[in-house]
């Protein structure tokens, strides 16, 4: 398996970025990890990068300067960016918010949890991407409550 998956994490919490990267390194899937600290940095990164877009974006919902929901809307309205798979990644989990995020084009809504659960989720999602099986689910499977799919 020679292809490295490029993952981008937009999250204002330094500990969350650290643990996300630590979990990635523990997986058997080769990855390239990038991160930004807020929504404005994310949109600047996506607008100015000359390399191909990341394979997937993990986007924290609650960030300063520009929140995840605002970024998601901008990404999905931009012709260059709209095909980028976006996975919302948040400590908060509300059905009305999930409805809005799904309507705006997010792929999944994942609750920030412990490292073991994050490892299972990342293993599942990255395997799906590598095997070209990664598709946006129906709304009833949008909120990712563990690896049962």
- Return d(Cα 11, Cα 65) in angstroms, integer: 12
Residue 80 corresponds to which tokens in the numbers above? 């260059």
Listed in sequence order, the residues at least 6 apart from 91 whose beta carbon sits closer than 8 Å to its beta carbon are 62, 111, 112
Structural domains present in the chain: 5-144 (3.40.50.2300)
CA atoms within 13 A on the CB side of 102: 19
Listed in sequence order, the residues at least 6 apart from 122 whose beta carbon sits closer than 8 Å to its beta carbon are 23, 24, 27
Q: What residue spans of 27-92 are helical by DSSP H? A: 39-48, 68-77
Pairing state of beta strands 108-111 and 143-144?
parallel
- Closest Cα partner for 35 from 48, 55, 18, 53? 18
What pTM did the predictor assign?
0.92
Pairing state of beta strands 56-60 and 31-36?
unpaired
Q: What is the pLDDT tens value at each position of the chain, 149 positions in all?
A: 457 899 999 999 999 999 999 999 999 999 999 999 999 999 999 998 777 899 999 999 999 889 999 999 999 999 999 999 999 998 877 888 899 999 999 999 998 888 888 999 999 999 999 998 888 898 998 987 654 43
Other CB atoms within 10 Å distance of the CB of residue 90 = 22
């Amino acid at each position: 398996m020679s292809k490295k998956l490029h993952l981008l994490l937009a999250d204002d919490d330094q500990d969350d970025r650290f643990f996300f990267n630590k979990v990635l390194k523990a997986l058997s899937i080769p990855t390239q990890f990038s991160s930004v600290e807020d929504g404005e940095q994310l949109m600047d990164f996506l607008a100015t990068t000359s390399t191909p877009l990341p394979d997937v974006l993990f986007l924290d919902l609650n960030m300063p300067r520009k929140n995840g929901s605002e970024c998601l809307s901008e990404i999905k309205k931009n012709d260059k960016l709209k095909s980028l798979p976006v996975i919302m990644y948040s400590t908060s989990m509300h059905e009305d918010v999930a409805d809005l995020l799904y309507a705006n084009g997010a792929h999944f809504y994942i609750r920030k949890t412990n490292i073991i659960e994050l490892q299972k989720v990342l293993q599942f999602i990255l395997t799906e991407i590598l095997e070209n099986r990664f598709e946006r689910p129906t709304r009833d499977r949008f909120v990712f409550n563990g690896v049962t799919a």
